[in-house]
Structure 1
Amino acid sequence: MGGGASRMEVHFRHIARAVIVHENKILIARLKGAHAFLPGGGVEPGEGAQQALQRELYEELGVVCAVHRFMGVLETHRIDEKGVLQHEISHLFEVSSEQLTSFAHPRSQEDHLDFHWIDLNTDQIKRHDVLPRMMQEHLVRLVAERDCVWMSTFTPT
């Protein structure tokens, strides 16, 4: 870059997300007053994605869970309202917990989050605007067909 050019600020996140399905319902998290997403969170230095997912679900819901099948990777990027590039790599895992069933409303351990069971169908996933959006069309198929996928908002150059 030339002398006057500046580099764009980039925030990178490595995330582990849980796909928890019970009786044809899927568990979603909602940031109060904002967006919905699959439960989980950031992978911290020194821990693997599966460990991070177990830790996050314990912190958020107070449950012990089993991480099963690896379902795929989501790679997203966007420029936020401050002009910062937000780049996320999310690993999706099928997860279960004897403490989580669609017959009971999950109780959040964190004040900023709510958890809800919704029907596992594309219309409901879109209606609740579960992020990242590129996953909305594919999630039901991933659960049913047991595929492993890579999805990205980047286009090859």
Structure 2
Amino acid sequence: MSGEIETRLQELGVTLPQAPAPAANYIPAVVSNGMLYVSGQLPFGPDGAMLKGVLGAGVEIEAANAAAKLCAINILTQARAALGDLDRIARIVKLTGFVASAPGFGDQPKVVNGASDFLVAVLGDKGRHARSAVGVAALPLGAAVEVEAIIEIA
């Protein structure tokens, strides 16, 4: 590992996986006008497992919060693949978190905090961002959470 962000990840005990190929007709990240747009990332862990289900109908907030952290790890994985060096991240501008939610479930922000808290832990003030946390009826592959990012690059 090299660079400040990679060192911080190591201190936190986080190893970024290899960036997976897209599962459909899109690209995982696009650089345009000094910004990096990272496609929605699902909460695949190092073992390939993914939290599935619906909040408010069996999936607990704590488990979904941990899944949102995995989404943020996968965002950094895609950023590294697109930029070659995570230290090119100037700041996380915006996250949008999508939470599979049963009718009446309103704690989407508590779920997406898993991604937000992780990015601040890794990046400090560069990780503070604007955010939306949106409840949806269903997500790809039955995922409980999905997170996308807009990142300013240096």
Q: TM-score range by the shorter chain?
A: under 0.3
Greater Rg over alpha carbons, structure: 1
| TM-score between both structures, scaled by the size of structure 2 | 0.27
Which structure is higher in RCO with an 8 Å CA cutoff and minimum separation 6?
2
| TM-score between both structures, scaled by the size of structure 1 | 0.26
